[in-house]
Amino acid sequence: MATLDGFPLTNDPDALLLAVRDTRDRTAFLALFHLFAPRLNAWMRRGGLDARQAEELVQDVMLRVWHRAAAWSPERGSAAAWMFAIARNARIDAARRDRYPAWDDADPALVADPAHRPDDALEVRREAERIRGALADLPQDQAQVVHAAYFDQRSMPEIADGLGLAVGTVKSRMRLALGRLRLTLTPPVEEGP
Amino acid sequence: MTPHHHPTDQDLLDYATGAASSGLALLVAAHATLCPPCRARVADFEAAGGALLADLPPVPTTPGLEAALLARLDRPLPVPPPSGDPAGVLPAPLAARVGPSRTLAWRRVVPGIERVDVDPEGGPYAPRLFRLAPGLAIPPHRHTGTERTLVLAGGFHDNVGHYGRGDVSVLDDVIVHDQHIDAGDPCLALVVADGPLRPTTTYGRLLQWFARA
């Protein structure tokens, strides 16, 4: 059987996370762990953490996934996107000793999304695949700034500093990269009157 | 109603990647609570993050990690206290920092302007909540860095446009800013600055001294 790091390709992250959410399935959770722990570990190490800190955060992320799975729904985004956001928050929480601010679906102040549809889950999956393809096809110089933003959590001026480039150059590469992704992403929010 | 004025696309990207300062992250999360299109945009940037994460060359974890994790699964995580504002005025990420809107401890800066520090130990440019009296005119001033203002109640207009609940005003160091608070209700706003403001009048200089003291 075709495998991904020794695990069957049928181990689709979205299906696994649904099983964790709906039936508290530990086998599905372990499969998610085997799929994501080495990637989360790679991401934490790339962000400059040592082996011990990185593994502590990997554990922290996977615990949050287990306990907060009820908050995930496939209509809102892929399992990978949700876990990315959790990993980002865990990393910042550990560094700043504070909770990364995030909106809350149960907030009385939340303005609901009128465009939300029941068939969004399928659309989210297609989008995720398309985004993955678009990212893999980015030219090297654009991929470099996108990776610096996502893996190193750097803003444009910091990326420019790190690469020894003008801020304008980094901004235009990011704009080009996002422009390519924009084919598949929601257009930027327009300024109103 | 969906807001008309939004954070920049760069702000939303920085929020999604985690590059945003804690003040900017708070402002983006509070705005996104009120703005479905910006939530969708952040979700797209997070989808890109998810795709990048899933495609990273794996770095194996130590063999003991799985067992350590399994041993901890049955221990409940500390549950953060409910953070929403029952009155629905403050978005939850902000209420989590300052408490519900009814219990805010306002301090008068000058007549017509009151303030609450969101992060009392955050230094002179930490996020602040302001309550501005209806009809108040704030004298022209300029900012040395970028200042972002999220309106949470009431509204104001300036040389750029009108801002109501959910709208974000982004000012850089070029714009001379001349603010007029709407008549009727006080304007409640979250302000995140990354540089001191540069007043262009004596009253403005006084105001700056009080606002940052």
Q: How far from chain centre, in Å, is Cα B105? A: 18
Q: What is the pLDDT of residue B5?
A: 95
What are A87's two structure tokens?
Answer: 């990993």
Question: What Cα–Cα distance (Å) separates residue B45 from each residue in A108, A146, A147, A150, B48?
Answer: 25, 11, 13, 10, 5
Taking CA–CA distances from A132, the nearest residue in chain B reads: B51
> Which pLDDT belongs to residue B186?
97
Q: Is the ipTM of this complex over 0.90?
A: no
**Using the beta-carbon criterion (under 8 Å), do B96 and A101 form an inter-chain contact?**
yes
A178/chain B closest Cα distance in angstroms: 9
Q: Residue A166 in contact with residue A160, Cβ under 8 Å?
A: yes
CA distance B205 to chain A (A): 30
Question: With bands split at pLDDT 50, 70 and 90, how would you rate the model's confidence at B79?
Answer: confident
**Interchain proximity A63–B77, CB inside 8 Å:** yes
State percent of chain B over pLDDT 90: 64
Which residues from chain B sit within 8 angstroms of residue A26, using beta carbons? Answer: 70, 73
DSSP chain B: ---SS---HHHHHHHHHT-S-HHHHHHHHHHHHH-HHHHHHHHHHHHHHHHHHHTSPP-PPPTHHHHHHHHHTTSPPPPPPP---TTS-S-HHHHHHH--GGG---EEEETTEEEEESSTTS-TTS-EEEEE-TT-EEEEEEESS-EEEEEEES-EE-SS-EE-TT-EEEE-SS--EEEEEPSSSPEEEEEEESS-EEESSHHHHHHHHHHH-
To probe the interface with B, which of A27, A97, A110, A142 has the most B CB atoms within 10 Å?
A110
Stated pTM of the model: 0.89
The tens digit of pLDDT for each residue in B150-182 reads: 999 999 999 889 999 999 999 877 677 788 999
pLDDT per position as a tens digit, A67-107:
999 999 988 889 999 999 999 999 999 888 778 999 998 89
In the predicted structure, residue A133 carries a pLDDT above the cut 90:
no
Q: What is the pLDDT of residues A27-63, one digit of tens each?
A: 999 999 999 999 999 999 998 899 999 999 999 999 9
